[in-house]
Each structure stands twice: as C-alpha cells, then as structure tokens.
Amino acid sequence: MSTPMKVGAVIITMGNRPEELRALLDSVAKQDGDRVEVVVVGNGSPVPDVPAGVRTVELPENLGIPGGRNVGIEAFGPGGSDVDVLLFLDDDGLLPNTDTAQLCREAFGADPELGIISFRIADPETGVTQRRHVPRLRAADPMRSSRVTTFLGGANAVRTKVIEQVGGLPDEFFYAHEETDLAWRALDAGWLIDYRADMVLHHPTTAPSRHAVYHRMVARNRVWLARRNLPALLVPVYLGVWLLLTLARRPSGPALKAWFGGFREGWTSPCGPRRPMKWRTVWRLTRLGRPPII
C-alpha cells in the first residue's frame, strides 16, 4: 500500500482574530487521518496563543497575503517539500467537516495531474455561498463541482509539486489576483484545478471592497496579471474587457478614481518576470469555460 500523503496547513494572521483563529486550529486538529501539520504566520504582528504543536512564524512587517503565504510554504521546507499537500485557510474560517483533509488526500492520490483544489466557502449562519466564491463564470449552482481555471485564496489545497515546478505566489501583488497568477502558471505547466463543493470552509459573508486598498490593487494587479502571463495579442483585449466591465458596474467616483490610479500603476511599475502562456493553454482555458479575455 502507498504511504498516505502528508498534509500541512498555512494560516496567516494579523493577530486581530484570536478566537476565530483558535476555532480554525481546533477544526484542523479534528481532521480524520494522519495529523495535519500547521504553520501560523504572523504577518507583521505577534501570533496569538496557539495549541501545542502548532508552529509559528512572526514577520516584522506585513508582506501581504501572497508574501505571508510564501513564508508559510517555506516553513515546510523549500517549496513546501516536507509535505505533499498544503492547505491554505483564512484565519477567520473554519472546517465544519472532519473529512476535508482526507478528501484532499484521496483526490490528489486518484488523479496525478490534479494540482489545486478550490473549496466551497459557505456562510456559517445561512449556508449561502456567494457567487464570487465560485471560481467559474457559470456560478449559479455552487453545489456543482467542476474543473475550473482559478481558485479561492483562503480555502484551497495545493500539491507541493506544483509549487516546486512553477513557483509560489507572486509576492509583489500583496493583495488580489495572486491566486489566478499561480493558477495560470500551473495550468500552463499541465496541471488541473478542481472546484469541490463537498470540501467546505465556513467563512462569514463579506464584501471584498471592505479593504481600503481594494480598488487600486484590483486594477493594478489585473494589469500585472496580463503583463506577466498573457500572449502579447491578448493583453489589450483582456484589459479592455475588464475596463468595460468595471465601468458597467458603475462604481462610485472615489472608487473609480482609485481604480484608474491602480490601472495606471500597473503599466508604469515593475510586475515581475514575464512568462506568457502557450496558445494551447489559452485554448485549454477556453474549453474550460473561461477564455483569458475575461
């Protein structure tokens, strides 16, 4: 019999949700099968009290979501190599079921090409999954599992061989679209991504615009995402479509001003290495229902 996959978990925290963090850690400890090793990264803040056996890393400054998660990855060895699978979980989330880690082991074990699993996020009070938390265009039925082209940053599992092959999350993004950047690189390398409705993270319903930097970073990182990953012909198409979509949503004046400031910043600031995806990856994304122009 093959050795069960080793599973680790990376949780980043600003230290301001100690009760939620403790509840999440308790839910990870209750997972069926072998123990899930956990690293909690204090992203520019001290880590609240955690149970024995949970490792902690305290960073002197906030490195942003991708930067903090990358530090957590390296806590499991280079590229997370000490484990086979890493769970990335928001510190105010909770795993309501005890079989999530085991389902991940089974899914990755059954499909050697599966690289990333995106969990379903549901409000703990209502059970509702927000449309934006279903990582596909046809998001009306959150209970339908499917192959997808991106994943949810705070509720997912990644095979560490993916990180070894294509690298981690883009540190420079700080917040927004870092998951899609990794997803596109993984898909271009031949990996698959699944959305699994039966793997659930409870998380309170929130609006992404609650973050003060939301509009600027969403626009800046959208440009960076295109500049880094898309064939040159698709860059203006992709960004033109998103410009029209943003205007159609009729944001407030201050929000639109911040968005255009970020859009301009995306063109004038360094975005990291450019590795345009292959045209066969563009076709693959299209067949999966999300061509890289939207």
Q: Is the pLDDT assigned to residue 209 strictly greater than 90?
A: no
Alpha carbon 268 to chain centroid, angstroms:
26
pLDDT band, very low/low/confident/very high, at 211 (cuts 50, 70, 90): low
Six token digits for residue 259: 């968005």
Cα dist. 8→60, 61, 141 in Å? 24, 24, 30
How large is the average pLDDT for residues 128-151?
96
Thinking of the domain 7-202, which architecture would CATH place it in? Alpha-Beta Complex (3.90)
Domain ranges of the chain: 7-202, 212-288
How large is the average pLDDT for residues 210-238?
92
How large is the average pLDDT for residues 242-253?
94
Q: Name every residue whose Cβ is closer than 8 Å to that of residue 67 and which is 6 or more positions away in sequence.
A: 43, 169, 171, 174
In the predicted model, what is the mean pLDDT of the chain? 96
Within a 10 A sphere around the Cβ of 268, how many other Cβ atoms? 8
